[in-house]
């Protein structure tokens, strides 16, 4: 009897082993790899942000981005983006990005969410669906900034020009113990943080600029949100709106002056992945672009010594993108200087500037 059982086991075991091997091969063949899905999503987003629509379209399954959308993207360029949420199914993944857009033609900044559905087609991971939603928008209205929260649909006064700091400590690497007077200036550049609670801005007069940060008070409400119906019809409505506008209270909780920059043109104003830092790219006349990074919300200038590593009379810096790893910048020699050319990662955690492989 025992010999019979052993004989049966000898016959059955190879069959089971072969079956397990086949099953394992099938599983490995159809297994959905979330990391590869995220990589495809990131490549798609990188193409959009770099205005390389052909590259972005490589990762689309069916539909491609048409010419009208391309023009809209170019007018409202993606300044920065980051992954906010990832959810995985059996053969698909949803990846939500938060992205910040700026406009070429008006002083405005948009915080949006973009959802990608990534599916596996044979051995490729492709974008099957794209949905975008507006979350918040900051825009200039006369001499004021206003904020629209798409959740409520209301436009609220963020700050007026007169609310900007009247004096600011300049941060130029020297010992400074006195503030500098800030003449009345025009708000010329704004951006919004990923959390929607920090608003960065530059105010300029001529070629001088101040850098400032405003923090939004979520619980603060504008005066008189409800409009009453008066007997005077439209005339009364207009009067009510004018009164409300006059009495409206700004929702900016704090407005901090970070720096005064003289004889410059501010080119980029970005928040780090965590909103913990404010990154400013600017250019002085006759020199290359350079960068300053400030700690939020103190305005402390981080000791990264860009002017030492990349002297602005020899090199020009350009911010490529901001990620959870730090800030990627490209250095280009202006007068034949090659030693410090290349792509660098500015590590904001360890305060290091690290040379990387040259990127496209």
CA separation for the pair 334, 315 (Å, rounded): 5
In a domain, 211, yes or no: yes
pLDDT in tens, 131-145: 999 999 999 999 999
Residue 86 lies in a domain: yes
pLDDT tens per residue across span 144-172: 999 999 888 889 999 999 999 988 888 87
Average pLDDT, the chain: 84
Same domain, 167 and 291: yes
- Looking at the structure, do residues 147 and 269 belong to the same domain, yes or no? yes
Rounded alpha-carbon distances, angstroms, from residue 92 to 63, 116, 199: 17, 10, 36
Which stretch, 20-34, 111-125, 236-250, has highest mean pLDDT? Answer: 111-125
Beta strand pairing status for 92-102 and 78-88? Answer: antiparallel
Domain boundary residue, one of 299, 322, 339: 299
Of 136, 159, 184, which residue is a domain's last? 136
Same domain for 219 and 195: yes
Distance spanning both ends of the chain, measured CA to CA: 73
Indicate if 215 and 260 belong to the same structural domain: yes
Are 47 and 164 found together in one domain? no
Quote the pLDDT of residue 229: 46
| Residues 259, 112 share a domain | no
In this prediction, residue 104 carries a pLDDT of 79
- 35: pLDDT strictly greater than 70: yes
How many distinct structural domains can be found in the chain?
2
Residues 131 and 199 occupy one common structural domain = no
Q: Region 297-306: what's the mean pLDDT?
A: 93
User: Considering the domain boundaries, does residue 307 fall inside one?
Assistant: no
The range of the structural domain enclosing residue 90 comes to 34-136
CA atoms within 13 Å, Cβ hemisphere of 356:
18
Residue 61: inside a domain? yes
The H-or-E segment that residue 88 falls in is strand 78-88
Radius of gyration of the chain (CA): 27
- On whether residue 244 sits in a domain, the answer given is yes
- From 344, 308, 310, select the one nearest 326 (Cα to Cα): 344
Same domain as 190, residue 83: no
Question: Are residues 122 and 146 both part of a single domain?
Answer: no
Give the pLDDT score at 138: 96
Domain boundary among 136, 169, 186: 136
Lowest mean pLDDT among 25-29, 112-116, 195-199: 25-29
Same domain (yes/no): 126, 148 = no
Residue 73's pLDDT is 74
Q: Is residue 4 part of a domain?
A: no
Residue 340 located in a structural domain: no
State the pLDDT at residue 9.
47
Same domain, 185 and 59: no
Q: How confident is the model at residue 74 (pLDDT cuts 50, 70, 90)?
A: confident
Same domain, 155 and 285: yes
List the CATH number of the domain containing 56: 3.10.450.50
If pLDDT is split at 50, 70 and 90, which confidence band does 100 have?
very high
DSSP string for 60-128: BSS----HHHHHHHHHS-EEEEEEEEEEE-SSEEEEEEEEEEE-SSSSEEEEEEEEEEEEEETTEEEEE
- Is there a contact between 111 and 135 (Cβ–Cβ < 8 Å)? yes
pTM: 0.82
Average pLDDT estimate for 274-293: 95
Q: Please state which of the ranges 119-123, 297-301, 354-358 shows the lowest mean pLDDT.
A: 354-358
Looking at the domain assignment, is residue 12 inside a domain? no
**pLDDT by residue (tens digit) across 180-236?**
888 788 999 999 999 999 999 999 988 889 999 999 976 555 444 444 444 455 555
Give residue 178's pLDDT band: very low, low, confident or very high (50, 70, 90): confident
Q: Do you find a cis peptide bond into 297, omega within 30 degrees of 0?
A: yes
């Amino acid at each position: 009897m025992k010999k019979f059982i052993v004989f049966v086991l000898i016959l059955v075991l190879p069959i089971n082993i072969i079956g397990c091997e086949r099953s394992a091969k099938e599983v490995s063949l159809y297994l959905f790899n979330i990391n590869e899905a995220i990589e495809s999503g990131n490549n798609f987003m990188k193409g959009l942000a770099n205005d390389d629509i052909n590259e972005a379209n490589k990762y689309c399954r069916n539909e491609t981005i048409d010419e009208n959308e391309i023009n809209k993207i170019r007018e409202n360029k993606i300044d920065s983006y980051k992954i906010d949420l990832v959810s995985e199914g059996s053969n698909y993944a949803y990846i939500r990005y938060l992205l910040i857009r700026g406009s070429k033609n008006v002083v405005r900044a948009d915080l949006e969410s973009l959802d990608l559905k990534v599916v596996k087609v044979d051995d490729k991971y492709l974008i099957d669906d794209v949905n975008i939603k507006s979350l918040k928008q900051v825009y200039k209205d006369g001499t004021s900034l206003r904020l629209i929260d798409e959740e409520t649909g209301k436009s609220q006064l963020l700050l007026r020009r007169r609310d900007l700091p009247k004096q600011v400590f300049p941060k130029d690497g020297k010992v400074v113990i006195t503030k500098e007077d800030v003449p009345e200036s025009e708000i010329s550049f704004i951006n919004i943080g990923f959390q929607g609670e920090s608003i960065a801005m530059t105010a300029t007069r001529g070629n001088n600029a101040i850098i400032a940060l405003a923090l939004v008070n979520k619980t603060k409400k504008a005066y008189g949100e409800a409009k009453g119906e008066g007997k005077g019809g439209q005339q009364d409505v207009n009067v009510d709106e004018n009164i409300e506008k006059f009495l409206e209270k700004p929702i900016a909780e704090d407005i901090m002056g970070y720096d005064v920059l003289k004889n410059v043109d501010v080119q980029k104003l970005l928040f780090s992945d965590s909103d913990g830092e404010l990154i400013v790219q600017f250019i002085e006349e006759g020199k290359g672009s350079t960068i300053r990074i400030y700690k939020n919300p103190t305005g402390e200038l981080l000791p990264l010594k860009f002017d030492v590593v990349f002297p602005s009379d020899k090199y020009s810096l350009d911010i490529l993108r901001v990620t959870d790893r730090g800030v990627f910048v490209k250095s280009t020699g202006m007068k034949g200087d090659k030693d410090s050319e290349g792509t660098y990662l500015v590590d904001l955690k360890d305060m290091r500037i690290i040379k990387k492989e040259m990127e496209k």
